Amino acid sequence: MSNRLEALRVFFTAADAANFREAAVRLSVSPQVVTRAVRELEEELGEPLFHRSTRGVQLTDFGRQLAERARVAVGGVDELFHRIDRRTLSQHAGTVRVTAPHVYSRFIPQALAPLLAGHPGLVLDLRLSEQHADVVDQQIDIGVRVGPMRDARFVARGVGKLPLHVVASPALIERVGVPRGIEALAALPVTALIDRSSGRPWPWVFSKKRVFTVSSPAFVTDNIDAECAAVLAGVGFGQIIGPLAQPWLASGALVEVLAADAPEPWPVNVYRPQRAPVPARVRLVYDELIRLLRA
């Protein structure tokens, strides 16, 4: 038996049993496997482990000492690999680091709360950024990305589309009117969302690859929730991402304009690096995020 750890496990099981046949039953192996493991240990150690007679086998003094040491050694290795616990309560214990855009800052914690409650020891580490994370340096396990996936290093699943809406409060529209085209936005109060990597406002995008550059905003922020709040308050028109705008559009608190010029919705993907093996906790959160975002 080339595996010394398993040979020691077989040996101390045989030491505890009445005979090799009983040890074989406990280990679910044949008696020949037990006999061979004991013989190979004796040859390697240069000491007999059992006294053999027609009436059976009995541990030698050396064998008795080795059996005690073998139990400690094998028990320590078993504990290291959690031979029991990893298959039961603790198989999903540990931290899963997720990166996502700020638009998911509320959704992800709320959506994954039941999963976390059902798996004690599972920890969600959520990092919010509009920038594509360096999965190695930041030790990212799972990412949510808005936009196309072009990196073959990732295992990615499409979960939906993210539309953009140009919106304003009814009070603002009553005061300044509705823009009749993209060019008309330049003469109206608008909000600007800052790209944190460049320090400049994100441009507004429209169909046919048309772009509106925000040059004289009425409100500037680097937080999408703050921008949405400003638009709701009537500070200016804003191009707001679908999940933020849609509840307010449905309630009438916001009104969509320039709908005919809206860009194609952006694809949303959930991805993870192509690492092997994939820990059970990472696969659990990955699969659940895909299910929740598709829903």
Q: Fold for domain 4-81?
A: Arc Repressor Mutant, subunit A (1.10.10)
Reported pTM? 0.62
pLDDT given at position 84: 46
Nearest to 187 by CA among 156, 221, 218: 218
Range 89-162+266-294 classified under CATH 3.40.190.10: yes
Nearest to 243 by CA among 52, 120, 101, 85: 101
pLDDT bracket for residue 250 (50, 70, 90): very high
What pLDDT digit, counting tens, does each position of 216-241 carry? 999 999 988 999 999 999 999 999 99
Whole-number Å distance between alpha carbons of 160 and 290: 10
Least confident of 134-138, 209-213, 253-257, 260-264: 134-138
pLDDT at 295 over 70: yes
Least confident of 16-30, 49-63, 176-190: 49-63
- Give the mean model confidence (pLDDT) for residues 60-75: 89
> CA dihedral defined by 127, 105, 96, 281, rounded to 10 degrees?
-160
Q: How does the average pLDDT of the chain come out, rounded? A: 88
pLDDT given at position 81: 65
What percent of the chain stands above pLDDT 70? 92
The residues with which 52 forms a beta bridge, in sequence order, are: 57
pLDDT at 88 over 80: no
Tokens encoding 187: 């003469």
What pLDDT digit, counting tens, does each position of 118-152 carry? 998 899 999 988 776 666 566 789 999 988 877 77
Domain ranges in the chain are: 4-81, 89-162+266-294, 164-261
Tokens encoding 233: 């308050």
Phi–psi pair at 15, nearest 5 degrees: -65, -30
Range 164-261 classified under CATH 3.40.190.10: yes
> What beta strand segments (E) does the chain contain?
50-53, 56-59, 94-100, 122-128, 142-146, 154-162, 164-168, 191-193, 204-205, 211-212, 219-221, 238-241, 255-257, 266-273
Nearest to 124 by CA among 243, 271, 292, 282: 282
Same fold: 89-162+266-294 with 164-261 = yes
Q: DSSP string of 13-56? A: HHHHSSSHHHHHHHHTS-HHHHHHHHHHHHHHHTS--EEEETTE
pLDDT given at position 89: 46
What pLDDT digit, counting tens, does each position of 42-64 carry? 999 999 998 887 667 889 999 89
pLDDT given at position 136: 56
Q: Are 37 and 7 in contact (CB under 8 A)?
A: yes
Q: Which of the pair, 277 or 133, is modelled with greater confidence?
A: 277
